[in-house]
């Protein structure tokens, strides 16, 4: 059990002296108490001090151990005051009570006065240097009776004032002892938690540091200390700018924007540093930072590549699908059902509807989730490179071929999944080779002679109607039916309006964390965003929110105007694009020029949803001319 040092100006009650965890010092002056406390702390002979308010005040700036005040109770005061009156046999005069001003109990002299034969005068002091002046004042007021602590008692006696030592009773001292034990128990638990947390921090190979919202270091681990070649205890309490050469740290706790993977040089180390603000109730309370040695990253990457087939992994799952509409829920359930098989999947959907998200999610929920996930956009490469990427090649197969050759994506996808995006863009000649691979489940590298068996599930995606491409001779019909075993249609946002608000809120949170917090959308603007068609689907929505968050710090106070202008511009462009597509050509009946002109205007007006400004702008005429033609004025 921890030892408690109890320092008194008087004597400890006999009952408490039997307490074995107490180191008792009796009849000590304030100066003696200070000397005793210094000695005990230097020898670590005690865990806490128990003393009166005056002594506690003197010790606060001298020792670092807990100090518990043992203040006199009303009963202690009354007992001493009555004893002083009885012993002095004084009545109808004044009695002075001298106490330290920091005592826990706020003494009301009126509560004591009713029990006394003399008028009670309360005097308080803030430090022991004040006591002589207070006693001089007492003497000047011709107060003959004094009740006080040991220092005032001694000085009062020397000045000829009848003085009595204030008695601290057993109840007060027992309460202070119990409180001291409670405090030490809490400190012990906190110390154990801190040791546990420190040990946990030290398990990481990253340097970890936590600062408050001013950049003052609150905690760090051993690796952080090693990176900056300083002892941990020397780092605590320092501004982070005094430790690292990177001057951008203050931007995190100033703007609340996270910083990821900043490359910095610190002595012999090159470090990647990331910083994340700690935000509570929309206020930045501090920052957590990590520092990783680039050499360690290279070692981990080398090990990772051995185990993860060159990093060909799917990172997204069905949990990343945002939305609760019936159409998206049905799509997810259908995709989950597809995950239970190895059959080919054809994903159809407009641009930006999350086709790769579903492809990765199907892979991660399938029995192949431990295998590689290999993705390729068929529109990203010319035909010759696309073939070599898919099938691989042997050394010397063509000019520029790598020494030793290269495995194709089908080989890398062995025991896993290969995802071919924009399959509609694959050249017709290469479609024949792909069909053979799917039929034979084996490939032949370019320039090679060895047949390589493969076991890879194929998922393809298209943003065009493959049947129409078949009719145009741009896509092989036999390949279409080989791929179209399981079909998944990713819904556009115009078919899942109820999910738009949730998507906006999700991406607002993502980009606010990345770029810093800005003003959110008003209810009126949110309603307009929800009712907007989003022709670019989730990709357009995500890009819009990110742009809004980035520009938010530089926009005028009326952010709603910026959003309104964006929506009006996009609606106009969308309407104009709709008119200029072949499928949406405008047909008018042959008649007079005036009749055909009137029909044309009315059709364009329908497409523009009755918006006369957009109609006039598209037709390159004024609103006045538009009105005159419609009303037969010209």
Q: Give the 3-state DSSP-derived string for 494-505, with helices as H, strands as E and coil as C.
A: HHCHHHHHHHHH
CATH architecture of 74-167: 3-Layer(aba) Sandwich (3.40)
The predicted structure's pLDDT at residue 201: 67
Consecutive sets of 10 residues in the chain, 634 residues long: mean pLDDT of each?
76 73 82 87 86 82 84 84 89 88 73 87 86 89 87 88 84 81 79 68 78 87 88 88 82 81 83 86 85 79 49 86 94 96 94 94 93 89 84 74 77 90 92 91 83 90 93 93 94 91 92 84 86 88 89 70 76 56 64 79 78 78 79 62
Strand partners, 278: 286
Strand partners, 233: none
The predicted structure's pLDDT at residue 558: 63
The predicted structure's pLDDT at residue 3: 81
Parallel, antiparallel, or unpaired for β 451-453 and 283-293? unpaired
Q: In this structure, what token pair is assigned to residue 190?
A: 């906190």
CB of 118 closer than 8 Å to CB of 95:
yes
Q: Which of 576, 565, 559 is nearest to 618 (CA)?
A: 576
| Alpha-carbon gap, residue 435 to 224, rounded angstroms | 55
Q: In this structure, what token pair is assigned to residue 216?
A: 């003052």
Q: Which of 49, 149, 136, 58 is nearest to 99 (CA)?
A: 149
* Residue 531: how many other CB atoms lie within 10 Å: 10
The predicted structure's pLDDT at residue 633: 55
| Alpha-carbon gap, residue 555 to 548, rounded angstroms | 9
| Alpha-carbon gap, residue 189 to 126, rounded angstroms | 34
CB of 405 closer than 8 Å to CB of 392:
yes
The predicted structure's pLDDT at residue 357: 95
Q: Give the 3-state DSSP-derived string for 431-494, with helices as H, strands as E and coil as C.
A: HHHHHHHHHHCEEECECCCCEEECCCEEEEEECCCHHHHHHCCCCCHHHHHHHCCEEEEECCHH
Q: In this structure, what token pair is assigned to residue 485?
A: 């075993």
Q: At what angle do helices 559-580 and 593-607 cross, to 10 degrees?
A: 130
* Residue 145: how many other CB atoms lie within 10 Å: 24
Q: At what angle do helices 593-607 and 623-630 cross, to 10 degrees?
A: 120
The predicted structure's pLDDT at residue 343: 94
Instruction: Report the half-sphere exposure of 164 (CA within 13 A, side-chain side).
Output: 23
CATH superfamily of the 586-630 domain = Homeodomain-like (1.10.10.60)
| Alpha-carbon gap, residue 144 to 157, rounded angstroms | 11
582's CB contacts (< 8 A; 6+ apart) are none
According to DSSP, residue 377 is labeled: E
The predicted structure's pLDDT at residue 104: 53
The predicted structure's pLDDT at residue 202: 66
CB of 483 closer than 8 Å to CB of 458:
yes
Burial degree of 374 (CB within 10 A; 0-12, 13-18, 19+): buried
Cβ-defined contacts of 386-390 (< 8 Å, 24+): 386/426, 386/427, 386/430, 387/430, 387/433, 387/446, 388/446, 390/430, 390/433, 390/434
Domain borders along the chain are: 4-70+173-184, 74-167, 204-303, 318-490, 493-580, 586-630
> Which backbone phi and psi does 100 adopt, to 5 degrees?
-75, 145
CATH of domain 318-490: 3.40.50.300
Instruction: Report the half-sphere exposure of 526 (CA within 13 A, side-chain side).
Output: 14
Residues across the chain? 634
Query: What topology is assigned to 204-303 in CATH?
Result: Beta-Lactamase (3.30.450)
Strand partners, 421: 377
| Alpha-carbon gap, residue 498 to 532, rounded angstroms | 12
CB of 20 closer than 8 Å to CB of 117:
no
The predicted structure's pLDDT at residue 569: 74
The predicted structure's pLDDT at residue 347: 96
Q: Alpha carbon 43 to chain centroid distance?
A: 44
DSSP letter string over 397-425? SSTTPPTT-EE-HHHHTTTSEEEEETGGG
The predicted structure's pLDDT at residue 1: 47
Q: Which of 106, 48, 107 is nearest to 78 (CA)?
A: 107
The predicted structure's pLDDT at residue 557: 63
Cα distances from 247 to residues 95, 478, 511, in angstroms, run: 65, 61, 23
According to DSSP, residue 238 is labeled: S
Q: In this structure, what token pair is assigned to residue 58?
A: 């003197």
Q: Where are the alpha helices (DSSP H) in 340-378?
A: 355-365
493-580 CATH, one of 1.20.1070.10, 3.40.50.850, 1.10.8.60, 1.10.1200.10: 1.10.8.60
| Alpha-carbon gap, residue 101 to 550, rounded angstroms | 56
| Alpha-carbon gap, residue 528 to 534, rounded angstroms | 11
| Alpha-carbon gap, residue 499 to 210, rounded angstroms | 38
Domain 4-70+173-184: state its class: alpha beta
| Alpha-carbon gap, residue 6 to 65, rounded angstroms | 13
């Amino acid at each position: 059990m921890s030892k408690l040092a109890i320092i008194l100006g008087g004597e400890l009650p006999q009952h408490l002296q039997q307490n074995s965890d107490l180191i008792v010092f009796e009849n000590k002056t304030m100066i003696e108490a200070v000397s005793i406390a210094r000695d005990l702390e230097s020898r670590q002979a005690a865990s806490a001090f128990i003393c009166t308010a005056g002594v506690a005040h003197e010790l606060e700036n001298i020792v670092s151990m807990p100090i518990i005040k043992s203040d006199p109770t009303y009963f202690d005061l009354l007992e001493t005051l009555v004893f002083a009156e009885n012993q002095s046999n004084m009545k109808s005069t004044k009695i002075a009570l001298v106490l330290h001003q920091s005592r826990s109990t706020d003494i009301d002299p009126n509560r004591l006065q009713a029990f006394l034969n003399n008028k009670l005068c309360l005097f308080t002091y803030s430090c022991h240097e004040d006591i002589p002046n207070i006693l001089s004042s007492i003497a000047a007021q011709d107060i003959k009776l004094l009740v006080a602590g040991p220092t005032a008692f001694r000085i009062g006696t020397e000045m000829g004032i009848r003085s009595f030592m204030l008695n601290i009773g057993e109840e007060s001292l027992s309460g202070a002892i119990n409180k001291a034990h409670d405090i030490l128990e809490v400190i012990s638990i906190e110390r154990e938690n801190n040791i546990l947390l420190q040990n946990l921090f030290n398990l990481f190979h990253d340097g970890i540091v936590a600062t408050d919202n001013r950049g003052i270091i609150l905690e760090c681990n051993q690796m952080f200390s090693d990176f900056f070649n300083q002892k941990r205890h020397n780092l605590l309490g320092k501004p982070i700018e005094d430790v690292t050469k990177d001057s951008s740290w203050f931007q995190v706790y100033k703007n609340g924007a996270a910083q990821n993977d900043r490359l910095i040089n610190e002595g012999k180390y090159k470090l990647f540093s990331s910083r994340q603000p700690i935000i509570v109730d929309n206020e930045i309370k501090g920052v957590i930072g990590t520092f990783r040695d680039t050499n360690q990253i290279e070692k981990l990457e080398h090990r990772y590549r051995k185990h993860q087939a060159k990093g060909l992994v799917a990172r997204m799952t069905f949990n990343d699908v945002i939305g609760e509409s019936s159409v998206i829920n049905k799509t997810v359930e259908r995709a989950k059902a597809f995950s239970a098989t190895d059959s080919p999947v054809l994903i159809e959907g407009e641009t930006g509807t999350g086709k790769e998200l579903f492809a990765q999610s199907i892979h991660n929920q399938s029995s192949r989730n431990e295998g590689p996930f290999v993705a390729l956009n068929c529109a990203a490469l010319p035909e010759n490179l696309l073939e070599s990427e898919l099938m691989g090649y042997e050394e010397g197969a063509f000019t520029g071929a790598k020494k030793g050759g290269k495995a194709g994506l089908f080989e890398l996808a062995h025991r896993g999944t290969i995802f071919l995006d924009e399959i509609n863009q694959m050249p017709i000649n290469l479609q024949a080779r792909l069909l053979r691979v799917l039929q034979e489940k084996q490939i032949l590298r370019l320039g090679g002679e060895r047949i390589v068996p493969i076991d890879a599930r194929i998922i393809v995606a298209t943003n065009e109607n493959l049947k129409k491409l078949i009719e145009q001779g741009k896509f092989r019909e036999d390949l279409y039916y080989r791929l179209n075993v399981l079909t998944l249609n990713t819904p556009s946002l115009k078919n899942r309006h109820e999910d738009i608000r949730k998507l906006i809120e999700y991406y607002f949170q993502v980009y606010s964390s990345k770029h810093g917090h800005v003003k959110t959308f008003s209810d009126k603007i949110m309603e307009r965003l929800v009712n907007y068609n989003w022709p670019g689907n989730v990709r357009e929505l995500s890009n819009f929110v990110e742009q809004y968050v980035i520009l938010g710090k530089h926009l005028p106070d009326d952010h709603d105007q910026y959003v309104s202008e964006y929506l009006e511009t996009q609606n106009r462009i969308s309407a104009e694009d709709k008119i200029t597509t072949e499928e949406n050509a405008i047909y008018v009946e042959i008649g007079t020029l005036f009749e055909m002109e009137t029909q044309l205007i009315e059709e364009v007006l329908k497409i523009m949803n009755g918006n006369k400004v957009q109609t006039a702008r598209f037709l390159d005429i004024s609103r006045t001319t538009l009105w005159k033609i419609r009303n037969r004025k010209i």
